[in-house]
Amino acid sequence: MATDRYIAALEISSSKVIGAIGVMGRSGQLEILAVERERSLDSVRYGLIQNAEETSVLINRVIERLERRPNIAPREITAVYAGLSGRSLRSIEKEVSLSLPDDSEITPDIISRLRKKALEAEIDNSLEVVDAVPRIFTVGRTETHRPMGMMGNNITAIYDIIVARPAMQNNLRRVVRDKLDFDINLKKIVITPLATAEIVLNEHEKKLGCMLVDIGAETTSVTIYTRGNLVYYATLPLGGRNITLDLKALNVIEDKAEDLKVTFGNALAPATPSQEMVGPHKLSQISNYVVARAEEIVANIVEQIRYAHLTEKDIPEGIVICGGGARLNGIAELIEKFSGLKVRMATLPPTIRLSDPSAQGMECLQVAAIMYEGAKVADEDCLRLPAAPEPEPEQPVEEPKQPEEPKREPKKKKRPFWETISKFFTPLGDDDDGEELI
């Protein structure tokens, strides 16, 4: 990397819109300088933008506040990386192959042709291919993760094809490109759960086998890695908001239900029901709602191991959790109880530093992942300094005029005495104007 670059990213989810600006250093260190957020409610459902106008208003507010930050101004955001996550996103396993002349060397062009074939694979008409992630290659009869430079007369690859409903990408592009008050280029759409896995999971965990669980407001994404590669990705239509909506049965509005969940909720059932009161509500009532829904969410998470045709032995490094729903008290312990696997909370890696004191690491995890992924794929700057106004042409400076001295009237010459007296003796008939004198 030649110079430090400013990177801007957006995460648009069912509960919030987060924007962030960071600087990618020449050493590969990403420093997050500013983070702004706006709460979103019903304009985005299950990760899909439902109301383009309301979503654009939220994004505009975030961008305006980011550009007003003292450590950002007077720079202007000209491009962003945006994350994609939602209910219809999942992976489909596809095998593709190419026949080659005898003893061909595997080149980048051959890998590119193989990937293109995977991207063009036939899928359900209601879905579109978003990306193709290679799992394993086979050159001749040899399996490998690094096929470049190997020799063979055929190559086969298993790809995890990432698919989603077309509306997910279309609505995101429409909002960023057409609805914003700012002229901003959407540089790349990043698959948020996969980008998050790249910064949260280390190579050791991915090689031995582990699962990343991102518990959002309305969806929960599950990604499983073994032998260093993605082997399964799915999105569940369940999240932390389901617990909040259940608590509305206590005759409270959603904001109050959210407060009750965060303050008093616990995913683990108490040994004995509490008789303590929280205002007009029994703590045991709150616990019943929270525990019942939390157990349903966790049971569905653990069941994904079976859907991936794996067992708990295939993921000895356990489960890593993140997302707003992961902050629920007792959720990590409940996952351990249901799965029998160790569970840890995700954290930002050493390569990403959060210098905005108003932001929290867990809250910024996904937008940081989007930003980091964007910084890897392009060397362009996402911010620019506004052009300096052209100087006005200089006006000639007039020297102050010296006040002119008043001109004196020339003195009349006095006529000689004899000329003065002679007019009294002018002869008749000599007057020029012909006027007769009396």
Q: Kindly report, residue by residue over 314-327, the tens digit of the pLDDT.
A: 999 999 999 999 99
**Residue with the two structure tokens 């008043």:** 406
Give residue 2's pLDDT band: very low, low, confident or very high (50, 70, 90). Answer: low
Structure tokens at 157: 């690859």
**pLDDT tens digits for 263-286?**
999 999 998 888 899 889 999 999
Judge if the upstream peptide bond of residue 74 is cis by omega within 30 degrees of 0: yes
User: Which domains are present in the chain?
Assistant: 5-88+166-384 (3.30.420.40), 90-164 (3.30.1490.110)
DSSP notation for 21-60: EEEE-TTS-EEEEEEEEEE--SSEETTEE--HHHHHHHHH
* pLDDT at residue 419 tops 80: no
Give residue 76's pLDDT band: very low, low, confident or very high (50, 70, 90). Answer: very high
Rounded to two decimals, the pTM is 0.85
399 vs 333, higher pLDDT: 333
Residues of the chain with pLDDT > 90, as a percent, come to 77
Residue ranges of alpha helices (H) inside 201-351 are 203-208, 240-247, 254-264, 283-307, 331-339
* Contact indicator for 237, 216 with CB cutoff of 8 Å: no
DSSP notation for 410-432: PPPPPPPHHHHHHGGGPPTT--T
Q: What is the pLDDT of residue 377?
A: 77
Mean pLDDT for 377-385 is 85
Distance CA 233, CA 84 (A): 14
